[in-house]
Structure 1
Amino acid sequence: MRLWPAAAATRHETALVRAGWIVGDALADIDVVDLSEAPDEAITRLRALADANRPAMALLADPSDAGPAVAAGATHLHLLGGGIELGDSLSAAARLVRARERRSGDGALGQWLAQRQGDSQTLIRVQLLRLDLVNAAHGRDLGTSLVAAAERRVASVLEALADEDDTALIRVPGPGFVAAIAGPVDLAILAAARIEEALDRPFRLEGVAVTLGARIALAGSRPDEHSAALIARTERALGDTGGEANDELEELALDLHRGMSAGQVTLVFQPQASLETGRITGVEALARWQHPRLGALGAERLFAAAERGGIALALSDHIQRLVLAQVAAWPPELSRLSVSLNLTPADLDRPRFAETFLDHVDALGLPHGRLTVEITETGLMADLTAAAALLATLRAAGCRVAIDDFGTGYSSLAWLKSLPVDYLKLDKSLAQDIAGTERDRVVVRGAIDMARSLGLSVVAEGVETEKQRALLAEEGCATYQGFLLAEPMDEPALAAWIAGR
């Protein structure tokens, strides 16, 4: 719970407890705004909280203040001295007040449109996406700053395309904006495209890179149409663009933030073995999400949800720390195994990532030589020079480096020879092609020969049949992993599996 002004905390917290508001964490995620002091500033704060889609309780000294508080965006009311209105009925009331304001056309937008009655006018409705996810991941203060930064970007687009008198930008609950343009429809279409592009670019606030995105709809004026009708058509057009903010991935992104804190992200380990001797040489650490409703989810959906929620870096860091901590505590029967863990392209962009990673390894007392870091070949291509420098630092410290999913992207001698790499990991589809046509086998053989010509060892992923294993060994592949050897398993199962071999 956050109280404003700060002095209200001492004065009103006991009253709120007695009124039954604070039970455990019931108000942990709500702003409480005291209207009994500085009412104008309090109303301004309520509006800012509504714009950021944040729940807010208004503390009232006079019941007559309830109307202005609801209109400003309060989702809960508490009348000091007794009497509480709360919950869904008030939230619905707030929505009705806002909808009535929109329909009337009496606000700033309606006035702007009325002044240009008869001119060609187009409204661009912008609804910001993922703000709830940003609030959950980084805090609501950053979310408020993000809305303001988005508004500045939209305003910059309008300023670049039209005279100030021919445009208007109004912030509306949702959160979002309505941009109004007087002039040809083609100009509004161009503005909408540039607004979408501007909002798709990452925002960097307080050292955090955040991606929002937006849903955008347009509606043009019609002869003899009242401004309220144009506003209503724009809202309907936005509804017709679809419910991306409510799709499964959005819900997963919200779940993931809570799931990381609740320990739902866990690890499994898939063994790797020498094709020549059959000896177990190491394991690859793989993340799984034990979702309370959907069950175990793999890394693909896990990272897709993290990307949608703007917490991909936080997830990658979380998984790396899980791997290192778990491996550092392994019993003696597992301590000889090397461990591979995956880096993301975003990790390569982090300042001093290699040094931070190695510091954490050293703090746990892990030998660098037991660790192999894997990065996909497509992930390397954004900045090959920077990636090479980072991987060189890790390799110079004793870690080994592998290019994962090799054969799915930009495979070539030109860039391979510039990278400090120890292994190539053949993508599952490429490794399984070894048992396909003669042409398929030639392609696999070429990839293995290219790697060996550079002094690199080759690991085949996704090996499922004895025929695949035998042919890969024949072509000079050194190591394999896949269901033929073992499925991914948790640590206790891995220890039992190793002991039984």
Structure 2
Amino acid sequence: MERGATDMEDMQMATTLFAVSFRQHDEIAEILASAGAGAGWRAAVANDADGLERRFLASRAAVALIDARGALDDGLSATRRLGGIVATNGAALLVLVSRGDVEAIGEFFDAGATQFLASPASDGELVQALRFAGRYAARASGGTIDRRAIPGASPFDRETGEARRWIVGRIAEESPVTVVLVALSRLDIVNAAHGRPAVDELIEAAVLRAETVARGAIGVDAMVARLGGSEFVLVIEAAGAAVTAAITALDAALARPFAVANTRAVLGCRFGVAQRQPGDDAAALLRRASEALAEAKASDGSVLHVALPDGVAPIDALAIDLHHAIERDEIDLRWQPQVEIASGKITGVEALARWNHRVLGPLGADTLFDAADRADLGIALSDHIQRLVLARAVAWPEALGTLRVSLNLTAADITRPGFGALFLARIDESGFPRGRLTVEITETGLIEDLAAAAALLAELRGAGCRVAIDDFGTGYSSLAYLKSLPLDYVKIDKALVRDIDGSARDRVVVAGAITMARSLGLAVIAEGVERPAQLELLAAGGCSLYQGFLLSEPVGEAALLELMARE
């Protein structure tokens, strides 16, 4: 919610505050409305963690306030999610903790907090702390704060101001500049098994690998700067194909296992990329990269998001390029492992399309199909991806020869006359066994003609394929689908899974969906599983399979072989 106030008289102070509170009572907004009114604060208050990064970026706030009193774990999680963005954008992050939790300040600092306040004794004390944070943000955005001078800072923390000045210098020289923000994932597993020192060691090792890539692997001038929490930035004096090569090298370096506590750990990572456009200054470039990283974090299928220029209609621009993408063989695939919860074994994969754009780098399936729809190439693209998936899978080595393959069909496929016979002939021509193929249909692709969808799925299922309904729980007719369609699997959407370890209501909803599906004899696959606590709750509820970053992001064949070998 938004609460207005007058403009601040002190222009060094931030006028916009993004507050995160896990309390039912909106205490922060009331304090600002009373004691802070004279200072001119304008606050956006978030009472849950859903879409936190995107909401913070949209608020354009210079100060973030996280109220961790009585909610230490939630507060630390929120700090980790915002810490990198705060560091990148030159903002400030003030954390409120209870006096009994002051020992946790070190963890919050490592996650990206810049200021702390323990159990404010008065409303005025909080307002003064916010005033100080606002001045900190004003200085940080100008690049004058040196985090290396702060006691306890990591030796790999380079001041964000240095990265800003680096960018400003290249812009002044009219040189190409690209910002690649990187967020590491799966660190919670390492923390649970080996503790926080091991996590710190892993992050430092990842930054060192990035610095090695920047120094020698990409052949252009570059620098690496550590941000808050598990995020860092690679800034490159390049554009186009050189950026794609740099991201590929960095992705490969971070995909290699890390040694930690006498064992090996494999980290996941997501990328947000922005290339300098005419009129961009350093702040605009970093902001667009932050927005791109937030989009990548919100996606279950795409680990990389590229920001297009402000004011450009992204799909219109991409639709033109897509006409040549298929003939240039720019469409590639990634495989999202599906894991049997009871055994921990990978039993199948979902095929996900990826567009290796010549200028923008890798783009995810959502962007690809949106561009195809705009260019009236949806059917041609779907046909191409189906052939590509079947050809790749039939050529797999023996180690992958037992995996099921899930292939997504589009709404246009469902309504095409004679598509069932065409699709089955395509499978047989490829040589891939029908019995190892699962076709997935999204709820949104079924709404227009449920009867046609049911007839097509019955035809495919009768021919030996299996059928799954994808993103279950996000549409308006979920119960009708369970009643009317011939299904083998139900895939619980990541939006339902995301908060089951934090919200009792979400747990009830997911448990209800699993119970309904199982009572109809359907197997349940949970999407977007990232944390061990989520998996434990899903297993207790009767879910049989999962996919998500807890095991792995979508990978190529070589990485998939390594995952199978580790089993």
TM-score norm. by structure 2 comes to 0.45
Q: Give 1:206's aligned residue.
A: none
Deviations for 1:391-427, whole angstroms, at most 9, x for unmatched residues?
A: 0000001100000000100244333121000000011
CA distance in 2, matches of 1:406, 1:415: 9
Matched, 1:428 2:494: yes
Matched, 1:414 2:453: no
Cα gap change, 1:471 to 1:246, in 2 (>3 Å): closer
Q: Give 1:308's aligned residue.
A: 374
**Offset at residue 500 of structure 1 (A):** 2.5
Deviations for 1:92-115, whole angstroms, at most 9, x for unmatched residues?
A: xxxxxxxxxxxxxxxxxxxxxxxx
SS in 1 for 2:351: strand
Matched, 1:445 2:511: yes
CA distance in 2, matches of 1:426, 1:253: 31
Q: Give 1:318's aligned residue.
A: 384
Matched, 1:455 2:521: yes
* Aligned ranges 1:381-392 → 2 under 5 Å: 381-392=447-458
Q: Give 2:543's aligned residue.
A: 477
CA distance in 1, matches of 2:412, 2:495: 25
Matched, 1:291 2:357: yes
Cα gap change, 1:368 to 1:310, in 2 (>3 Å): same
| 2:393 maps to which of 327, 331, 336 | 327
Q: Give 2:437's aligned residue.
A: 371
CA distance in 2, matches of 1:259, 1:420: 35
AA at the equivalent of 1:441? R
Cα gap change, 1:444 to 1:266, in 2 (>3 Å): same
**Offset at residue 480 of structure 1 (A):** 0.2
Q: Give 1:139's aligned residue.
A: none
* Aligned ranges 1:141-290 → 2 under 5 Å: 247-290=313-356
Large movers: runs of 4+ above 4 Å = none
**Offset at residue 431 of structure 1 (A):** 1.4
CA distance in 2, matches of 1:247, 1:434: 36
| 1:403 maps to which of 469, 472, 480 | 469
Q: Give 2:564's aligned residue.
A: 498
* Aligned ranges 1:106-121 → 2 under 5 Å: none
AA at the equivalent of 2:364? G
The answer to which of 308-317 and 404-413 deviates more is 404-413
CA distance in 1, matches of 2:487, 2:401: 24
Q: Give 1:354's aligned residue.
A: 420
**Offset at residue 438 of structure 1 (A):** 1.2
CA distance in 2, matches of 1:307, 1:378: 15
**Offset at residue 335 of structure 1 (A):** 0.9
**Offset at residue 499 of structure 1 (A):** 1.6
AA at the equivalent of 2:427? V
AA at the equivalent of 2:366? E
Q: Give 1:93's aligned residue.
A: none
CA distance in 2, matches of 1:434, 1:281: 24
SS in 2 for 1:421: coil
CA distance in 2, matches of 1:252, 1:280: 35
Deviations for 1:331-360, whole angstroms, at most 9, x for unmatched residues?
A: 111111000010000000111111111101
Contact residue 265 and residue 290 of structure 1 kept, 8 A: yes
**Offset at residue 450 of structure 1 (A):** 1.0
**Offset at residue 441 of structure 1 (A):** 0.8
SS in 2 for 1:471: helix
Contact residue 270 and residue 487 of structure 1 kept, 8 A: yes
SS in 2 for 1:392: helix
**Offset at residue 247 of structure 1 (A):** 3.0
Uncovered stretches (5+) of structure 1, i.e. residues with no partner: 1-244
Contact residue 433 and residue 444 of structure 1 kept, 8 A: no
Q: Give 2:407's aligned residue.
A: 341
SS in 2 for 1:385: helix
Deviations for 1:128-175, whole angstroms, at most 9, x for unmatched residues?
A: xxxxxxxxxxxxxxxxxxxxxxxxxxxxxxxxxxxxxxxxxxxxxxxx
- Higher radius of gyration, 1 or 2: 1
SS in 2 for 1:487: coil
SS in 2 for 1:417: helix
CA distance in 2, matches of 1:497, 1:332: 14
SS in 2 for 1:262: coil
SS in 1 for 2:561: helix
CA distance in 1, matches of 2:488, 2:382: 22
AA at the equivalent of 1:462? G
| Percent of aligned pairs sharing the same letter | 62
CA distance in 2, matches of 1:414, 1:284: 25
SS in 2 for 1:495: helix
Uncovered stretches (5+) of structure 2, i.e. residues with no partner: 1-310
Let me know the Cα RMSD of the aligned residues: 1.6
CA distance in 1, matches of 2:563, 2:342: 20
Contact residue 459 and residue 479 of structure 1 kept, 8 A: yes
TM-score norm. by structure 1 comes to 0.50
**Offset at residue 497 of structure 1 (A):** 2.1
**Offset at residue 246 of structure 1 (A):** 7.2
AA at the equivalent of 2:402? R
CA distance in 2, matches of 1:347, 1:412: 20
